């Protein structure tokens, strides 16, 4: 179902400055009285609500998953992970045999790498329950030792910078983290058929393959995935071949030539049925396959619900530039989990959402697709910066739903992406204080993170907003970005500091609480705005406990027209005397929902 787009609310950003120290642009807006809200209210409108409800269910499932995994995460940290090591990984080769019925994995993982300094110790991670039988360094056997989850290899003489080496680790075992809420390799069954699928974010790669768990060390990857007869092995990148082995097993050869972080590597094995669609690139020439791997019993439903995915790719590509992995593919693969995971070029999608029914799953699909730009091509540099993945994906999910249903951006943010509507949230800040628990506060990371982008747009203007996002993307493509990098990209477009904005919205928990009062004069209105929140603003030395913002005051005139009058607000209590040419009926605050707040 699709709403006809109404005339909409025009929310214009014009140039000018009113406060020299802040050098903000005035938000000076003309409101065209809209019928959009009324139209939405009158229409039989299950569409956006249903899509947003499923999107929220998905995020709630993700929050539950995170809680269930909290102990796993803590144990991973306790294992003594050393994320940053003095070498640069060039390539991963994963030659794996997976047997879903036996719930076993075995294989050899070969890491090609260059030391960045004299290297006498190579540290990899592998879950203690997985057996690592032998290893070869540059083709020669090397003895390893274990310290908890660490595999340690000491070359006979230090490896030197400027040289390239390969370390091949052979291992096997029965991955222990299992079940639909676990991480690592998940074993399950559907319609009586066993499956093995993976979910590694943030720290669970080691539960199914020997890895270096460093989100910043991206490398190309190939996977040679051997599966039982009758099953399909699906992974990242391009399928270069399928081999039938003497014992009847099949080996699926995959290549991912766009460097990726280790947590974005996935393996999926069951009796998948696949079908394909096409995305036509922005150049009008390039055709890219969109490949789906679904359970046979989900084939008919999935083929219905994915029909808008090509349009979604085009929508995002027009906003922030072409799909990042155009030479390969996009795709989705069903897995037994209550959410989605943006494995590079092949999102793992909960089987309820891909083949489970023909409901509208656009919110979830759009979220995971948006991660290809934000999360996969540009990956958070630290887990403290996880909002650069999740807040972005949530915002672009909202943009898709807003345009799909003809809703105003602020309207959809207010109705469906206010974190206060679920999970309590806003306990912490958008920027995570602890990188060890990146998903501990999904309200702040996902929803408030999306609000940060939504609020930045009117501050810098729509054109500069998308130019800044494209610049941030270009600067960190196939690499990693930080919150500071993003701020720098926006400041470059905006031309003025944005520390005040990031301090109050990204580094400060909670939100402002405003109280509005007004009195009517013959030719003016007197408006008093109070800030009633109790918390201080992080990192701010002056005006510590107040938010700085252009507040859109909505003047509702007695003749039925409306107008937005923006005022700069940065005190606990501020009174504005605003001239009016027409009789004012009432004054309200930010009816267009461009500021995350509570109004008392
Ligand atoms: Zn996400």
Q: Which of the residue ranges 89-103, 218-232, 437-451 would you say has the lowest mean pLDDT?
A: 437-451
Looking at the predicted structure, is the pLDDT value of residue 53 above 80?
no
Report the pLDDT value the prediction gives residue 133, as an integer from 0 to 100: 82
Report the pLDDT value the prediction gives residue 452, as an integer from 0 to 100: 97
In degrees, rounded to 5, the angle at the alpha carbon of residue 495 between the alpha carbons of residues 494 and 499 is: 80
The residues, ordered by sequence, that sit 6+ positions from 46 with a Cβ below 8 Å of its Cβ are 1
Average pLDDT over residues 176-185: 62
Looking at the predicted structure, is the pLDDT value of residue 11 above 60?
no
Phi, psi of 174 (to 5 degrees): -115, 100
Nearest to 386 by CA among 342, 331, 335: 342
Q: How far is the CA of 394 from the centre of ligand 1 (A)?
A: 7
At 71, the pLDDT band (50, 70, 90 cuts) reads low
Q: How far is the CA of 295 from the centre of ligand 1 (A)?
A: 23
Q: How far is the CA of 563 from the centre of ligand 1 (A)?
A: 37
Q: How far is the CA of 502 from the centre of ligand 1 (A)?
A: 21
Nearest to 39 by CA among 52, 50, 48: 48
Report the pLDDT value the prediction gives residue 75, as an integer from 0 to 100: 58
DSSP per-residue codes, 480-499:
EE-HHHHHHHHHHHH-S--H
3-state helix, strand, coil in the chain (%, to 5): 30, 30, 40
Looking at the predicted structure, is the pLDDT value of residue 31 above 70?
no
Report the pLDDT value the prediction gives residue 24, as an integer from 0 to 100: 28
DSSP E strands: which ranges in 191-249? 193-199, 219-227, 232-235, 238-244
pLDDT tens digits for range 441-466: 788 899 999 999 999 999 999 999 99
Residue carrying structure tokens 């790669």: 205
Length reported for the chain: 600
Q: How far is the CA of 237 from the centre of ligand 1 (A)?
A: 20
Q: How far is the CA of 391 from the centre of ligand 1 (A)?
A: 8
Q: How far is CA 584 from CA 524, 554, 556, 562, in A?
A: 9, 10, 6, 9
Report the pLDDT value the prediction gives residue 154, as an integer from 0 to 100: 97
Average pLDDT over residues 542-558: 92
Residue carrying structure tokens 């890219």: 288
Q: How far is the CA of 447 from the centre of ligand 1 (A)?
A: 11
* Residue 256, strand partner residues: 221
* DSSP designation for 5: P
Average pLDDT over residues 100-120: 97
Distance CA 412, CA 418 (A): 9
How high is the mean pLDDT of the chain? 86
Q: Which of the residue ranges 22-31, 74-83, 225-234 would you say has the lowest mean pLDDT?
A: 22-31
In degrees, rounded to 5, the angle at the alpha carbon of residue 594 between the alpha carbons of residues 592 and 596 is: 120
Report the pLDDT value the prediction gives residue 45, as an integer from 0 to 100: 39
Average pLDDT over residues 150-175: 96
In degrees, rounded to 5, the angle at the alpha carbon of residue 223 between the alpha carbons of residues 219 and 225 is: 160
User: What is the three-state SS of 538-569?
Assistant: CCCCCCCCCCCEEEEEEEEECCCCEEEEEEEE
At 381, the pLDDT band (50, 70, 90 cuts) reads very high
Exposed e or buried b per residue across 236-268, where buried means at least 16 C-beta atoms within 10 angstroms of its C-beta: bbbbeeeeeeeeebbbbbbbbebbbbbbbbbbb
Q: How far is the CA of 254 from the centre of ligand 1 (A)?
A: 24
Report the pLDDT value the prediction gives residue 417, as an integer from 0 to 100: 83
Q: How far is the CA of 90 from the centre of ligand 1 (A)?
A: 27
pLDDT tens digits for range 137-156: 999 999 999 988 889 999 99
The residues, ordered by sequence, that sit 6+ positions from 496 with a Cβ below 8 Å of its Cβ are 22, 23, 24
Nearest to 449 by CA among 476, 429, 479, 474: 429
At 82, the pLDDT band (50, 70, 90 cuts) reads low
Distance CA 304, CA 359 (A): 9
Q: How far is the CA of 147 from the centre of ligand 1 (A)?
A: 33
Looking at the predicted structure, is the pLDDT value of residue 46 above 50?
no
Around ion ligand 1, residues with a beta carbon closer than 5 Å are 390, 393
Q: How far is the CA of 270 from the centre of ligand 1 (A)?
A: 24
Q: How far is the CA of 551 from the centre of ligand 1 (A)?
A: 30
Looking at the predicted structure, is the pLDDT value of residue 472 above 60?
yes
Residue carrying structure tokens 């766009």: 258
The pair of structure tokens assigned to 353 is 């959402």
Q: How far is the CA of 407 from the centre of ligand 1 (A)?
A: 22
For residue 175, how far is the Cα from the chain centroid? 27
Q: Which of the residue ranges 95-104, 237-246, 496-505, 536-545 would you say has the lowest mean pLDDT?
A: 536-545
DSSP E strands: which ranges in 365-481? 378-380, 479-481
Q: How far is the CA of 127 from the centre of ligand 1 (A)?
A: 25
Report the pLDDT value the prediction gives residue 415, as an integer from 0 to 100: 84
At 108, the pLDDT band (50, 70, 90 cuts) reads very high
Q: How far is the CA of 390 from the centre of ligand 1 (A)?
A: 5
Distance CA 393, CA 410 (A): 17
pLDDT tens digits for range 495-525: 999 999 999 999 998 899 999 999 999 999 9
Report the pLDDT value the prediction gives residue 466, as an integer from 0 to 100: 98
Q: How far is the CA of 66 from the centre of ligand 1 (A)?
A: 12
Q: How far is the CA of 383 from the centre of ligand 1 (A)?
A: 13
Cβ-defined contacts of 475-479 (< 8 Å, 24+): 476/378, 477/324, 477/377, 477/378, 478/218, 478/258, 478/259, 478/377, 479/216, 479/218, 479/378, 479/379
Looking at the predicted structure, is the pLDDT value of residue 33 above 50?
no
DSSP per-residue codes, 93-107:
EEEEEEETTTTEEEE
Report the pLDDT value the prediction gives residue 72, as an integer from 0 to 100: 56
Average pLDDT over residues 71-100: 77
Q: At what angle do helices 462-476 and 483-494 cross, to 10 degrees?
A: 140
Q: How far is the CA of 222 from the centre of ligand 1 (A)?
A: 24
For residue 549, how far is the Cα from the chain centroid? 27
Looking at the predicted structure, is the pLDDT value of residue 10 above 70?
no
Average pLDDT over residues 425-450: 82
Average pLDDT over residues 543-568: 94
Sheet holding 584-589, edge to edge: 562-569, 549-557, 584-589
Average pLDDT over residues 297-318: 98
Q: How far is the CA of 38 from the centre of ligand 1 (A)?
A: 32
Residue carrying structure tokens 């793992």: 348
The residues, ordered by sequence, that sit 6+ positions from 90 with a Cβ below 8 Å of its Cβ are 112, 113, 114, 164, 219, 220
Q: How far is the CA of 134 from the centre of ligand 1 (A)?
A: 37
Q: Which of the residue ranges 74-78, 339-343, 450-454, 470-474 would you say has the lowest mean pLDDT?
A: 74-78
Distance CA 5, CA 43 (A): 12
Q: How far is CA 222 from CA 161, 186, 342, 578, in A?
A: 25, 21, 18, 65
* DSSP designation for 112: E
Looking at the predicted structure, is the pLDDT value of residue 64 above 80?
no
pTM above 0.85, yes or no: yes
Residue carrying structure tokens 């539950």: 64
Report the pLDDT value the prediction gives residue 416, as an integer from 0 to 100: 81
User: Percentage of residues in the chain with pLDDT exceeding 90?
Assistant: 73
Average pLDDT over residues 201-221: 93
């Amino acid at each position: 179902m699709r709403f006809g787009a109404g005339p909409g609310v025009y929310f214009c950003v014009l140039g000018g400055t009113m406060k020299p120290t802040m050098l903000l642009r005035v938000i000076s807006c003309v409101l065209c009285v809209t019928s959009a809200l009324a139209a939405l209210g009158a229409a039989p409108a299950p569409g956006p609500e249903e899509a947003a409800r499923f999107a929220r269910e998905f995020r709630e499932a993700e929050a539950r998953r995170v809680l269930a995994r909290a102990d796993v995460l803590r144990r991973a940290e306790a294992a003594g992970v050393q994320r940053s090591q003095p070498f640069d990984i060039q390539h991963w080769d994963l030659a794996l045999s997976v047997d879903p019925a036996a719930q076993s994995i075995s294989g050899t993982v070969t890491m090609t790498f260059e030391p960045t300094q004299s290297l006498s110790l190579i540290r990899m991670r592998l879950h203690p329950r997985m057996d690592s039988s032998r290893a070869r360094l540059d083709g020669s056997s090397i003895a390893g030792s274990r310290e908890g989850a660490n595999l340690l290899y000491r070359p006979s003489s230090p490896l030197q910078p400027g040289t390239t080496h390969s370390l091949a680790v052979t291992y096997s075992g029965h991955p222990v983290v299992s079940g639909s809420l676990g991480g690592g390799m998940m074993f399950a069954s559907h319609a009586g058929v066993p499956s093995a699928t993976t979910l590694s974010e943030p720290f669970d790669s080691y539960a199914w393959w020997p890895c270096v768990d460093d989100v910043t060390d991206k490398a190309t990857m190939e996977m040679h995935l051997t599966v039982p007869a009758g099953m399909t092995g699906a992974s990242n990148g391009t399928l270069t071949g399928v081999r039938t082995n003497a014992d009847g097993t099949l080996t699926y050869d995959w290549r991912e030539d766009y460097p990726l972080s280790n947590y974005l590597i996935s393996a999926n094995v069951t009796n998948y049925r696949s079908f394909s669609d096409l995305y036509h690139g922005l150049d009008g020439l390039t055709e890219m396959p969109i490949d789906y791997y679904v359970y046979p019993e989900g084939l008919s439903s999935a083929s219905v619900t994915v029909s808008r995915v090509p349009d979604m790719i085009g929508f995002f590509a027009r906003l922030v530039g072409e799909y990042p992995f155009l030479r390969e593919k996009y795709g989705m693969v069903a897995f037994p989990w209550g959410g989605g995971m943006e494995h590079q070029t092949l999102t793992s999608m909960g089987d309820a959402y891909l083949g489970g029914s023909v409901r509208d799953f656009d919110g979830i699909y759009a979220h995971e697709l948006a991660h290809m730009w934000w999360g996969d091509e540009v990956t958070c540099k630290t887990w403290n910066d996880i909002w650069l993945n999740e807040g972005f994906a949530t915002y672009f999910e909202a943009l898709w739903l807003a345009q799909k249903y003809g809703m105003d951006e602020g309207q959809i943010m207010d109705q469906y992406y206010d974190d206060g509507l679920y999970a309590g949230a806003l306990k912490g800040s958008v920027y995570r204080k602890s990188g060890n628990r990146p998903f501990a506060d999904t309200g702040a990371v996902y929803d408030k993170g999306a609000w940060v982008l939504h609020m930045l747009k009117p501050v810098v203007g729509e054109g500069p907003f998308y130019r800044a996002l494209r610049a941030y993307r270009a600067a960190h493509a196939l690499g990693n970005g930080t919150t500071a990098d993003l701020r720098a990209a926006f400041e470059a477009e905006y031309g003025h500091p944005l520390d005040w904005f990031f301090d109050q919205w990204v580094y400060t928990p909670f939100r402002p609480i405003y109280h509005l009062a007004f009195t009517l004069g013959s030719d003016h209105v007197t408006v008093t705005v109070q800030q009633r929140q109790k918390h201080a603003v992080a990192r701010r030395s002056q005006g510590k406990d107040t938010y700085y913002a252009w507040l859109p005051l909505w003047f509702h005139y007695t003749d039925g027209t409306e107008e937005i009058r923006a005022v700069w607000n940065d005190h606990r209590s501020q009174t504005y005397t605003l001239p009016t040419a027409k009789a004012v009926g009432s004054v309200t605050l930010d009816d267009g929902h461009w500021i995350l707040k509570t109004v008392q």
